[in-house]
Structure 1
Amino acid sequence: MNLIDKLLSRTVESKPALTDKVLVRVYLDTAGHVRDVKIRKSCGDPERDAQALREIANMRFPSKARGAKTSHNWHDLAYTFS
């Protein structure tokens, strides 16, 4: 590779690799309802990331056991596209 090609290859931005899953952080209340969801690691496609956020926001999770001392918690979750 000549010098010009080496210099040009350094200036070209590479696109992030697309994956089939999004890593998210989900905030649940004691009833198991999603109160907040944030992306921790994108799949590389903003539209698919938004789809994952919408679907997770509508999910319902098991409620906390009665008598638990903490009422709300953050949980890490991997959302895989089918």
Structure 2
Amino acid sequence: MSLIEKLLAKAAPSNSAPAAAQAVKVLVRVYLDSAGHVTDVAIRKSCGDPELDARAQREIAVMRFPGKSRGAKTSHNWHDLTYTIHH
């Protein structure tokens, strides 16, 4: 797992839900600016439910990730992220 994937995983909420909730995963591609703001979200692999895919996009769009550190090449790039949704 790359450093940016670890940072993205830490920044994504855990979505703690009751045990009876069903979890689905959506693979998204996230574009970050140098401050760590999400500027675009694209679905790479759908969970099979368009409504849940759209929900994942909305939730990720308002997240903030760690900004670019000196010498890092992790911002202003697309990053893949597996996002879990409990429903």
Return structure 1 stretches of 4+ with deviation > 6 angstroms: none
Relative to structure 1, the CA distance from residue 60 to residue 44 in structure 2 (aligned partners, 3 Å threshold; closer, same or farther) is same
Letter in 1 for 2:29: R
User: What is the TM-score normalised by the length of structure 1?
Assistant: 0.71
Structure scoring higher RCO (CA < 8 A, sep ≥ 6) equals 2
User: What is the TM-score normalised by the length of structure 2?
Assistant: 0.67
Residue segments in structure 1 that go unaligned for 5+ positions in a row: 1-18
Shift of 1:67: 4.2
Letter in 2 for 1:66: R
Aligned to 1:53: 57
Contact 2:67/2:75 (8 A) holds in 1: no
Shift of 1:68: 4.0
1:76 aligns with 2:80: yes
- Percent identity at matched positions? 78
Larger Rg: 1
Residue segments in structure 2 that go unaligned for 5+ positions in a row: 1-22
Q: Residues 15-42 of structure 1: CA distance to partner in whole angstroms, max 9, x if unpaired?
A: xxxx711000000000000011100000
- Equivalent residue of 2:34, what SS? coil
| Matched length | 64
- Equivalent residue of 1:81, what SS? strand
Shift of 1:69: 5.9
